[in-house]
Amino acid sequence: MKLAVLGTGMVGQTLAAKLDALGHDVRLGTRDPAATLARTEPGAFGNPSPAAWAAAHPRIGVVTLADAAAHGEVVVNALSGAATLAGLEQAGADHLAGKVLIDVSNPLDFSRGMPPSLSVCNTDSLGEQVQRRFPAARVVKTLNTVNANLMVDPGALAGGDHTMFVCGDDADARRQVAGWLREWFGWRDVVELGDLTAARGPEMFLPLWLRTWGALGTASFSFKVVR
C-alpha cells in the first residue's frame, strides 16, 4: 500500500520505518526536505537526526508534505499538535479528500514549560478540529496514548496485553484502522470509542500520561482496560 507519514520527529520516524519494514511504499513528509535533511543533530528524545535516519531508510523518500499526501492512499498525521492544522493545510485538502487520515497528534501546549498543558480540551479536540478543517478526509484518532516505540510494537511491553483506542466519524474508516492496528502493529486489544467527539478522552489522557512518565522515569508503559 502507498502510505504517507507527515512529520519527521520520533513518532514519524518510528511509524514510517515500521511501515517500510512491512513492505509498504512509504513517503515521509516535511515542510522543507532540504532543510530537514541538512539537520545532523539527534532529535529531542534521542532519535536519529533526519539525515542519519534517511540514510538508514533509503527506500523512504523524504518529500514535501504535499508530495507525501498526494502519494499516500492512507495518510498518517505525526506532526506536533501545534503544527498539525498548518501542516495539513500545506499537505493540501485535495490530497486528503476521501482518504483515511490517521491522526496520532496531541494538542500539547509548551508555552509555560514542562509539563505541557492542553491547547484544546473538554468541549473540543484536535481530532475534531482536523475533521472540521478537512471535511472530505476520513479522520481517525488513535495511537496518541503511548510512546512511539509502543505504537508499532506493543508486544515489547507485557506481551502486548494493553489497550489502544480508536475513534472517528466514519465507521468504515474506524474499523479499517482498528484492523490495521492489529495486522500491522500487533495490537490485540483495540477498543472503538465511537465518533470523533470521543477523541477528547484520549487527548485529555495526556496529562495523566505525562505525570506517570515523570513518576516512573520511563515512557515505556501503557494501560489496559480490564473487563
| Pairing label, strands 163-168, 108-109 | unpaired
Q: For the segment 78-132, what is each residue's pLDDT rounded down to a tens digit?
A: 999 999 999 999 999 999 999 999 999 999 998 888 888 899 999 999 999 999 9
With cell 510494537, the residue in question is: 153
Does position 44 have pLDDT exceeding 80, yes or no? no
What fold does the segment set 2-216 form as a domain? Rossmann fold (3.40.50)
**Where do the structural domains in the chain lie, given as residue ranges?**
2-216
33-62 mean pLDDT: 91
Q: How far is it, in rounded angstroms, from Cα 160 to Cα 222?
A: 9
For the chain, give the percent of residues with pLDDT over 70. 100
pLDDT category at 159 given cuts 50, 70, 90 is confident
pLDDT category at 158 given cuts 50, 70, 90 is confident
pLDDT at 112: 86
pLDDT category at 43 given cuts 50, 70, 90 is confident
Does position 45 have pLDDT exceeding 80, yes or no? no
**131 in Cβ contact with 158 (< 8 Å):** no
pLDDT category at 206 given cuts 50, 70, 90 is very high
182-195 mean pLDDT: 97
In the predicted model, what is the mean pLDDT of the chain?
96
pLDDT at 17: 98
- Tally of CB atoms within 10 A around 142: 27
122 sits in the region (left: phi over 0; alpha: psi -120 to 50; else beta) called: left
Angle, helices 126-133/84-91, rounded to nearest 10 degrees = 30
pLDDT category at 135 given cuts 50, 70, 90 is very high
Buried b (16+ CB within 10 A) or exposed e, 165-203: bbbbbbeebbebbbebbeebbebebbebbeebebbbebb
Q: How far is it, in rounded angstroms, from Cα 141 to Cα 117?
A: 19
